[in-house]
Amino acid sequence: MPKPTSRDELIDYSLRKLGSPVIEINVDRQQCEDRLDEALQLYSEYHNDGSEKELFSYKITQTDKDRKYIDINNIGEPIGATGGAITGKNVLSVIKVHQFGEFANINMFDVRYQMALMDYFGINRGLGFNSSMGLARYDSTKRYISMIQDFFQPEKMIRFNRVTNKLNLDADWKNDIVVNKYLLIEAYVEIPSGTYSEVFNDIWLKRYVTAQIKKQWGSNMSKFEGVQLPGGVSLRGGEMVSEAREELEKLEEELRLTYEDPIDFMTG
């Protein structure tokens, strides 16, 4: 059989793995769809292939400034993306809004610009005023400039909630935020399964969806627990639920230990 490339194909794959069509799987199609939605949500939030880091360039509007927050649904496509497959509506979490303000802008008279202009020829070729600088002095100078920058214009704190889709900047919106200026927003976005069909062939997701449908099947059958069928066969819905729950627990542990990205600790 070809690999699953859609929702229907993944559900059919899971039903076949449970015994269909040889065995009648007593689960409604809509129940299968619901279990798949739950699996995809877990996959996008914790699996390292279910999300990716993106950068968004967003122009501040007067509406943003008046209400003092940014609606994350309005930030458009990430930098370099085409086709609209991923937009702000796919954002799972906002990591950082890169520094903005006077220190974020560099012109030719800025000491950082002059150092960047001269560092290669000065340090590596012995030319210009950086000829005697050396890497150690160059590094300490860059650190000192960074310290001054952080002292006079520290990074702005941010708050983001996926329920409200509001990106709040703890800044002086009257003076720090300028209409028509750009912000660089770093965020994690979910991979839309409707566009990237490889999602449905992920080995962990296939096993998890199958276990979810198995649990649903056992739950549907549990109300007939102990009922004798012709030939002396009895239904065992409760036992099936227990088996599926154990499989799901192992798969969720595998997700956290094997597929989840390590925690990115904040320092400084």
pLDDT tens digits along 143-182: 776 776 666 666 778 899 889 999 999 888 888 888 998 8
Closest among 168, 195, 208 to 52, alpha carbons compared = 195
Supply the mean pLDDT for the chain.
82
Between 120 and 64, whose confidence is greater? 64
Q: Which of 40, 26, 36 is nearest to 92 (CA)?
A: 40
pLDDT, position 238: 82
**pLDDT for 73:** 93
Q: What is the pLDDT of residue 268?
A: 36
- Beta strands at 51-59 and 166-170: parallel, antiparallel or unpaired: unpaired
Can you say how many angstroms the Cα of residue 91 is from the centroid of all Cα atoms in its chain? 7
Helix (H), strand (E), coil (C) string for the chain: CCCCCCHHHHHHHHHHHCCCCCCCCCCCHHHHHHHHHHHHHHHHHHCCCCEEEEEEEEECCHHHHHHCCEEHHHCCCCCCCCCCCCCHHHEEEEEEECCCCHHHCCCCCCHHHHHHHHHHHHHHHCCHHHCCCHHHHHHHHHHHHHHHHHHHCCCCEEEEECCCCEEEEECCCCCCCCCCCEEEEEEEEECCCCCCHHHHHCHHHHHHHHHHHHHHHHHHHHHHCCCECCCCCECCHHHHHHHHHHHHHHHHHHHHHHHCCCCCCCCC
Token pair, residue 83, equals 């086709």
Asked if residues 226 and 132 have their Cβ atoms less than 8 Å apart, the reply is: no
Which pLDDT value is given to residue 85? Answer: 84
Q: Give the model's pLDDT for residue 102.
A: 52
Q: Which of 24, 50, 53 is nearest to 39 (CA)?
A: 50
Give residue 222's pLDDT.
82
Closest CA to 113 of 84, 81, 135, 145: 145
User: Which of 102-111, 158-167, 209-218 has the weakest average pLDDT?
Assistant: 102-111
Q: Tokens in use for 237?
A: 């819905």
pTM: 0.75
Confidence category of residue 267, pLDDT binned at 50, 70, 90: very low
CA separation for the pair 208, 212 (Å, rounded): 6
pLDDT at position 203, please? 96
Q: Which range is least confidently modeled, 9-18, 77-86, 209-218, 223-232?
A: 223-232
Instruction: Say if residue 122's pLDDT is above 60.
Output: no
**pLDDT tens digit sequence for 13-66:** 999 999 999 988 999 999 999 999 999 999 999 999 999 999 999 999 999 999
In this prediction, residue 105 carries a pLDDT of 55
Examine the pLDDT at 9 and tell me if it is beyond 90. Answer: yes
